[in-house]
Amino acid sequence: MVVPTRLPLVRRRCHACASERFRASGKFRVNANHKLIDAWLLALCTVCGETAKLTVLERMTVRSVRPELLDRLHHNDPGLTAELLQDPAVRRRNRIALDWDNAWRLDTGRSDHLDREVVDVSVRLTARIPVRPARLIAEGCGLPRAEVERLITEGRIVSAVALSGRLSSNFAFTLKRSALPRTTGLPGMVRRTGPSPDPRRPRWTVPRSRGPSPGSSRRSWAGASRRGRR
């Protein structure tokens, strides 16, 4: 499960210092003019503190706005801030994007089932956070990122959705561990099977040489020996 740890930053250019990140203050400004109402979410520049107004309501008639929404605006409801930042209509109206870097965490819960040969995993996002599936799989399964990308290419990690790029919705995947290498050794070493007779000895051994191949090299050695005895 992917869970937000804080509100995302707002990607918008600051006219005062040219910074490109704002932090939502959680406060709203509401202005009523006769029967029309405007509302903005206030955001602060992360560098200079300049205030920017993100339009929530624009020239709306008071009767067309739900009383519950008006109440939440007047009380600076923190939950409303998170909802509005993830509202595609609000982002399009204000021409902004969200920066979710370091604003979420992965909660795997019980992960003892990951030792099975074939693992079916469902990933749920509690918010529309754009994440890279390969990163989530690597972190949740304890595998290097490069190894996960290789397994995706080889078809050992499969999903009904494309695992490349970013996703912001729930997805599921299957990990086939039966073909994964359990460990690696040094070049020229082989793995011994069965219990080790001595736990102090390493389980990796260097294969013994079988000597020269029959036919050529062995005959040359024997011929040299006979010539030496003559």
Asked whether the predicted pLDDT for residue 21 surpasses 90, the reply is yes
Report the pLDDT value the prediction gives residue 225, as an integer from 0 to 100.
44
Note the pTM of the prediction, 2 decimals. 0.67
Residue 228 phi/psi, 5° resolution?
-70, -35
Q: What is the pLDDT of residue 118?
A: 86
Residue of 135, 137, 133 lying closest to 163 (CA atoms)? 133
Q: Where are the domains of the chain?
A: 2-99, 108-176
Q: Which CATH number fits domain 108-176: 3.10.290, 1.10.20, 3.30.470, 1.10.3930?
A: 3.10.290
Q: Are strands 36-45 and 118-123 parallel, antiparallel or unpaired?
A: unpaired
**pLDDT, tens digit, for every residue of 66-91?**
999 999 999 999 999 999 999 999 99
